[in-house]
Amino acid sequence: MTRRVVVTGVGMVTPLHTTTEGSWEALVAGQSGVGYVTRYELGEDFPVRIAAEVKGFDPLPYIDKKDLRKMDLFIQYAVAATEQALEMARYRVRPEEADRVAVIIGSGIGGFPMIEEMHKTLLEKGPRRVWPAFIPAVIVNMAAGVLSIRTGAKGPNVAPCTACSTGAHAIGDAFKLIQRGVADVAIAGGTEAAITPLAIAGFAAMHALSTRNDAPEKASRPFDAQRDGFVMGEGAGILILESLEHALDRGADILCEIVGYGLNSDAYHITAPCADGDGAVRVMRMALQDAQMAPEEVDYINAHGTSTPLNDRIETLAIKAVFADHARKLAVSSTKSMMGHLLGAAGGVEAAVCVLTIRHGVIPPTINYEYPDPECDLDYVPNQARRQDVRVAMTNSFGFGGTNACLIFKRFED
C-alpha cells in the first residue's frame, strides 16, 4: 500500500520579493521582477543587459555572518526559502525521527558567482589567494548538505541537477520516497543564483535570451506572438512534504496533497524540444496515470512557458494532445512572465505557486500577453489574476538535454 503525501509548508525567494507572502502578493498583482542587471556592469557589447534579480535580499536573519562566505548565493537562497517553509509548516526535525527526514534540493548550475570571482582571483593574485571554502561553497549538492546539517535531517540527502527540471524532479523524487515509506518528511525543491556576466553571455550566445533591453518589464512574454526569448531569473522554491499520517499525528495545517509525478526524456536534442511535443505529452500522461486521474479533472496548468518561440508553441501543442477538448477549458498561465526563468529553481517555485493557487483560489496571470499567436491559442489567463476554485493543479518543467518533469497537486480531502 502506497502512502498519501501532503504539503504542509512552502517557501519562496524570488525576483518579486524575498518572502513567500510578498512573492505571492506580487504574482497575484501581476508585477514584473525584470529589470536591468545591477550587480555587474554589462557594457554595450553585451547583447542582453536585463535579468530578474532578487532584490533586497538580507541573509542575516537566516545565516550567521561568519558562515556567509562559506555559501554562494544559491545556498543562501535555499536556506532562506527553507526557513520560511518550515515556519509555515510549524515543523522542526526531532532527533528521534531525524533518519526519516529527507533533504532533496537541487540546482541547475550551482555557484556561478563565486566560480567567476575565484577564477579572477586566481589569475590576478595567484592560487594562494583562492578562498579555502571555495569548493564547498559552489558545488551543486551543498544546498542540500547545508540544510541537512542545519536542520538535523539524517535521511536521504540528494541534489538533482537536471537543468530547468531540477526543482520539479527534487519534489517528485521526495514525493516517491515518502509514498513508498523510505522517509516520513522531506524538505524539497530547487535553488539558483547564476546571473553573472559569463552566464548571460553564454545563454545570449545560444540566442536563448530576450534582447528587449529597451523595455525590461515587457521582455518576458510567454505565448505572446512577439516573444523573443527567456529572461534569466534567480531564487529558490522549497516545499515541506509529509506522509499524511505524520502530518495528522502532529496536527499540521495541510495545504494540499501531491498525487502525481511524471519524468522522462525527449531523447531528441540537447536544447530543443521534440517538434511534435512527444516528451511533454508523455510526461503529462505519466503524471496523470500516477495520480490515477482523468485529464478532465485538471483545472489549472502552471506551464513551463519560457517565452521562447519554440517552447511555448510546442508546450501548447502538447497540452492540446493530452487534454483534447478539455484543453479549451483549462486555465494555463506562465509565472515566468513575472519572475523570469529561475532555471534549476523554477520547478520548486512553480510547484509552490500551484500549492498557493489551490489554497487561495486565485490563478496568477500571464502578463505581457498583448499579441495573440495563432499557434498558442489556449486560455493563458492574460494580464489579470483570476479568482477561481482550483481543485487540481499541474506544473510542467522541461530542461536542456531533453529532461522533463510534471507534478500534480490536489486539494486535500480527508
What element of type H or E holds 261? strand 256-265
pLDDT at residue number 382 = 98
Name which of 315, 300, 307 is nearest 395 in CA terms. 300
- Maximum Cα–Cα distance across the chain: 64
Average pLDDT over residues 7-14: 98
CB atoms within 10 A of CB 269: 12
- Backbone phi and psi for residue 236, each to the nearest 5 degrees, phi listed first: -150, 145
Catalytic residue numbers read 164, 304, 341
Structure confidence at residue 1 as a pLDDT band (50, 70, 90)? low
- Alpha-carbon span 196 to 198, nearest angstrom: 5
Name which of 196, 198, 199, 228 is nearest 214 in CA terms. 228
Task: Take residue 406 and report the three cell numbers written for it.
Answer: 510534471
Map residue 387 onto helix, strand or coil: strand
Each residue's pLDDT tens digit, 101-136? 999 999 999 999 999 999 999 999 999 999 999 999
CB 326 within 8 A of CB 296: yes
Map residue 231 onto helix, strand or coil: coil
Q: Residue 414: pLDDT above 90?
A: no
Average pLDDT over residues 166-177: 98
DSSP per-residue letters across 153-216: --S-EE----GGGHHHHHHHHHHHHHHTTS-SEEEEEEEE---SHHHHHHHHHTT-B---TT-G
pLDDT at residue number 71 = 97
Average pLDDT over residues 234-241: 98
pLDDT at residue number 69 = 87
- Alpha-carbon span 389 to 361, nearest angstrom: 5
Name which of 170, 174, 167 is nearest 234 in CA terms. 167
CB 393 within 8 A of CB 155: no
Task: Take residue 57 and report the three cell numbers written for it.
Answer: 535580499
- Alpha-carbon span 67 to 69, nearest angstrom: 6
Rg for the chain, CA atoms, rounded: 20
Name which of 111, 134, 116 is nearest 194 in CA terms. 111
Average pLDDT over residues 366-385: 98
pLDDT at residue number 357 = 98
- Which residue is associated with the grid cell 495520480? 291
Domains and CATH numbers, the chain: 5-249 (3.40.47.10), 260-410 (3.40.47.10)
Q: Residue 250: pLDDT above 70?
A: yes
pLDDT at residue number 219 = 98
State if pTM tops 0.95: yes
Average pLDDT over residues 400-412: 98
Name which of 251, 13, 312, 233 is nearest 143 in CA terms. 13
Q: Residue 225: pLDDT above 80?
A: yes
